[in-house]
Chains A and B, each alone.
Chain A
């Protein structure tokens, strides 16, 4: 019986370790090879505190957890600016350094580790036997699993997945990437540290082999095996892998050492087979039991097309979308100059090496006005958007948003101040659903902030309902409600453009910068998108649009700037600009 409890204890510890690693790898996309080493910090801390300081079981667990969390947060700081490949190298190096320190420090017991930890006890009850330890471990694991579930399957987890998909796009909808990365590293490390400490107490030993790089790789394998980013996947992965080793030993009667070798071969082979057949892991990220059951029935003929159905398009206006640019005037008679400038740009300048992309630009985006930005390819339009939204810092000049100097601020801070943008190359979160993509843009969601997520569940679920309603509303605006449940990566390019507009609307920002919203959208929907944008000023929005489709821009823009070679060379209504033979030549090459 004790033997089974022993295996159950190992399973629990590795399940929690791989769940916490899944938060990092599967959700936030931060691949760490130092997870076992971080658990080791917890293990060694608990051992040292118990042996040298005689600290009790529970306080030493708490301190060990905090120390591991601090180490994780510390590790996250250099990770902030690294690509995944570099992060893997950094964490690998950190793991090697930590294990080497443990191996070579006499105070930490060297290669033998810290031995002779006291028997843990709680409320006077000894936890010496595996069966006694099991119940305590089960409670702690359950709490960890609940915390994991709350973090992963929530608005918070949604932001983490957005980080994994596209950091810049996440910042563009106002998410503070820095805070999330530090938090998720600290949280995952805290759980790992706690498990490391319990592992040390369980074996009454903290040694380098328990926490070396091989163990980290084993944890990564468990996560990949079960399914990265899947809520339950790592549980399955960890349980299968941990249970397999005693089963091998027992049934094959080959002794622990041989079994360990054979186990490695089997894991390797299983991983290769799995990657070929089911690269998303045993339980993939978007696995649904209901869908799996439904799939057992025969697929209906033409089901793919039915899934690809588009909402009935709006009544196409009287205008012929195929007609050459014949700008129908927007609201005639707006006195542009009388409107208050919301965004003012003065002397903005940016050079990349020898190329001056933006060369002393002055412009104003006025309240409830749709401003068009027209010009040849490479004129600096997108660079101007990047400067306005803080994606790149300017070399000179100032940008003011509602009177506040925002020059040099970060993209997420600018988005939170009320200026959001869309991207020419769309940048949706491809492995998230259409609905999630738009819901993410909902600003000030309490569920995205750790204390509120854990402390105010009612407010969180209320906000989640509101976010869903808003997202559906924005999606119906662009006619894609029936695709809400699809993965964004499964949409066509034009549909992705429409979702990007919905996402931008859902930010609730007052100033919206649209970078080629219409290119790639089919002619019938061009009118629809134009209508959507045209309706924005009435909702109090200030809009700036970069667009080559002059037919659409003619319907949209109250005022236009013409940009060439990094400078604004003309402004006025689109008709006025297009009456200038020089601009026509610059743009149409006529």
Chain B
């Protein structure tokens, strides 16, 4: 399995076939995520990247194979149990509660965090990352602009105190400055808290800068993997899709 060692693996997929209803979308996907690392899942539109993330978190059906979180098979386990175990997912769509205030949205993200101080700390970090959320603190989320709602959904995901973060295009719709500082924050969390991140990103440059290992999906199957430098040397990355 590539160049990664077998120690410290927090999330592992073994020949996972998954999809919606009876229809599989991804086939035989195997991947590993080590503690404190960032792994990117790349591929063209419709390749099955989002479905892979949804299958891990329990929002798409796993037909075959195993999804191991800390060595335990969690395939088809209810999403909320996964979140309680620190597996947090940021969907591609804007996932905010429109009628709730920005504050309540963020606090909902921290629902599973019992420690008040940790909650306050995370809140502060999200608000430093997205200062505009502090300005719009008491407003209903639906009054935010598209990009600001995207920031809020990322903020909600960050509030949960994840051990493993599954990010589906976090930079989508964000202005370059904001996208860059989001990536910096993720890098910081990986370093300081040992967070592990599986990221799907269409902004190749951001993904390559952040990830230590890449998996490339094509038509539902893994076609290539390796560290970014290695893949970049061997192939023209954008032609791999």
In the assembled complex, A521 has its CB within 8 A of some CB on chain B: yes
Q: Which of B68-76, B113-121, B169-177 contacts A (4 or more CB under 8 A)?
A: B169-177
Q: Which residues of A contact B220 (CB under 8 A)?
A: 302, 304-305, 308
In the assembled complex, A316 has its CB within 8 A of some CB on chain B: yes
Q: Which residues of A contact B19 (CB under 8 A)?
A: 304
Q: Which residues of B contact A310 (CB under 8 A)?
A: 44-46, 219
Contact code string B191-223 (vs A, CB < 8 Å = 1, else 0): 000000000001111001000000000011100
CB-based A-B contact count at 8 angstroms: 145
- How many Å lie between the Cα of A261 and that of B238 in the bound state? 66
A424 x B208 contact (CB < 8 A): no
B219 x A308 contact (CB < 8 A): yes
A377 x B148 contact (CB < 8 A): yes
In the assembled complex, A297 has its CB within 8 A of some CB on chain B: no
Q: Which residues of B contact A353 (CB under 8 A)?
A: 143
Picked from B46, B92, B174, the residue with its CB within 8 Å of the CB of A495 is B46
Picked from B146, B151, B175, B181, the residue with its CB within 8 Å of the CB of A424 is B146
A492 x B181 contact (CB < 8 A): no
Q: Which residues of A contact B239 (CB under 8 A)?
A: 316, 524
Contact code string A540-576 (vs B, CB < 8 Å = 1, else 0): 0000000011100000000000000000000000000
Picked from A302, A308, A495, A589, the residue with its CB within 8 Å of the CB of B48 is A308
Contact code string A299-325 (vs B, CB < 8 Å = 1, else 0): 000101111111001001000111111
Task: Say how far A494's CB is from chain B's closest CB, in angstroms.
Answer: 3
Task: Say how far B206's CB is from chain A's closest CB, in angstroms.
Answer: 10
Contact code string A413-430 (vs B, CB < 8 Å = 1, else 0): 000000000001100000
Chain A residue at minimal CB-CB distance from B241? A524
Instruction: Choose among A304, A316, A352 the residue with the greatest number of B CB atoms under 10 Å from its CB.
Output: A304
Interface of B is mostly: mixed
Known A-B contacts A377-B151, A424-B173, A494-B202; A522 and B44 likewise in contact (beta carbons under 8 Å)? yes
Chain A residue at minimal CB-CB distance from B22? A299
Contact code string B230-241 (vs A, CB < 8 Å = 1, else 0): 000000111101
In the assembled complex, B94 has its CB within 8 A of some CB on chain A: yes
Q: Which residues of B contact A494 (CB under 8 A)?
A: 44-46, 202
A377 x B173 contact (CB < 8 A): yes
In the assembled complex, B50 has its CB within 8 A of some CB on chain A: yes
In the assembled complex, A178 has its CB within 8 A of some CB on chain B: no
Q: Which residues of B contact A134 (CB under 8 A)?
A: none
Known A-B contacts A377-B145, A383-B145, A425-B94; A522 and B43 likewise in contact (beta carbons under 8 Å)? yes
Q: Which residues of A contact B186 (CB under 8 A)?
A: none
- How many Å lie between the Cα of A325 and that of B178 in the bound state? 16
In the assembled complex, B160 has its CB within 8 A of some CB on chain A: no
B24 x A304 contact (CB < 8 A): yes
In the assembled complex, A245 has its CB within 8 A of some CB on chain B: no
Known A-B contacts A302-B27, A313-B241, A519-B173; A425 and B93 likewise in contact (beta carbons under 8 Å)? yes
Q: Which residues of B contact A492 (CB under 8 A)?
A: 45-47, 49-50
Report, as a range, how many residues of chain B touch the other chain.
35 or more
A378 x B144 contact (CB < 8 A): yes
Q: Which residues of B contact A525 (CB under 8 A)?
A: 44-45
B92 x A493 contact (CB < 8 A): yes
Picked from A381, A425, A497, A524, the residue with its CB within 8 Å of the CB of B44 is A524
Q: Which residues of A contact B177 (CB under 8 A)?
A: 376, 587-590
Q: Which residues of B contact A324 (CB under 8 A)?
A: 205
Known A-B contacts A304-B19, A378-B147; A320 and B45 likewise in contact (beta carbons under 8 Å)? no
Report, as a range, how many residues of chain A touch the other chain.
35 or more
B172 x A321 contact (CB < 8 A): no
A589 x B180 contact (CB < 8 A): yes
A382 x B145 contact (CB < 8 A): yes
B92 x A520 contact (CB < 8 A): yes
In the assembled complex, B156 has its CB within 8 A of some CB on chain A: no
Picked from A305, A378, A491, A498, the residue with its CB within 8 Å of the CB of B132 is A378
Q: Which residues of A contact B147 (CB under 8 A)?
A: 376-378, 548
B238 x A520 contact (CB < 8 A): no
In the assembled complex, A516 has its CB within 8 A of some CB on chain B: yes
Q: Which residues of A contact B90 (CB under 8 A)?
A: none
Instruction: Choose among A320, A515, A550 the residue with the greatest number of B CB atoms under 10 Å from its CB.
Output: A320
In the assembled complex, A523 has its CB within 8 A of some CB on chain B: yes
- How many Å lie between the Cα of A516 and that of B151 in the bound state? 16
In the assembled complex, B25 has its CB within 8 A of some CB on chain A: yes
Known A-B contacts A523-B202, A548-B175; A305 and B27 likewise in contact (beta carbons under 8 Å)? yes
Q: Which residues of A contact B172 (CB under 8 A)?
A: 519-520
Chain B residue at minimal CB-CB distance from A483? B46
- How many Å lie between the Cα of A498 and that of B24 in the bound state? 23
Chain A residue at minimal CB-CB distance from B240? A524
Q: Which residues of B contact A491 (CB under 8 A)?
A: 46
Chain A residue at minimal CB-CB distance from B169? A520
B202 x A520 contact (CB < 8 A): yes
B176 x A523 contact (CB < 8 A): no
Instruction: Choose among B177, B180, B208 the residue with the greatest number of A CB atoms under 10 Å from its CB.
Output: B177
- How many Å lie between the Cα of A9 and that of B75 in the bound state? 54
Task: Say how far B127's CB is from chain A's closest CB, in angstroms.
Answer: 15
A548 x B176 contact (CB < 8 A): yes
Q: Which residues of A contact B173 (CB under 8 A)?
A: 377, 424, 516, 519, 548
Task: Say how far A547's CB is from chain B's closest CB, in angstroms.
Answer: 10
Chain B residue at minimal CB-CB distance from A515? B146
Task: Say how far A143's CB is from chain B's closest CB, in angstroms.
Answer: 39
Q: Which residues of A contact B146 (CB under 8 A)?
A: 377, 382, 424-425, 515-516
Known A-B contacts A304-B19, A522-B43, A589-B181; A322 and B151 likewise in contact (beta carbons under 8 Å)? no
Picked from A378, A383, A522, A589, the residue with its CB within 8 Å of the CB of B202 is A522
Q: Which residues of A contact B144 (CB under 8 A)?
A: 378
Chain A residue at minimal CB-CB distance from B25? A304
Query: Could you list 5 A-B pairs, sorted by A, with CB under 8 Å?
Result: A304-B23, A516-B146, A522-B43, A523-B202, A548-B174
10 smallest CB-CB distances across A and B, nearest first, come from A377-B147, A494-B45, A589-B177, A322-B204, A305-B220, A492-B46, A378-B145, A305-B219, A424-B146, A522-B44
On A, residues with C-beta under 8 Å from B are 302, 304-310, 313, 316, 320-325, 352-353, 355, 375-383, 424-425, 491-495, 497-498, 515-516, 519-525, 548-550, 587-590
16 additional A-B pairs beyond A520-B92, A525-B44, A587-B175, beta carbons within 8 Å, are A310-B44, A310-B219, A320-B238, A323-B205, A383-B145, A492-B45, A493-B169, A498-B45, A520-B45, A520-B172, A522-B45, A523-B241, A524-B238, A548-B174, A587-B177, A589-B177
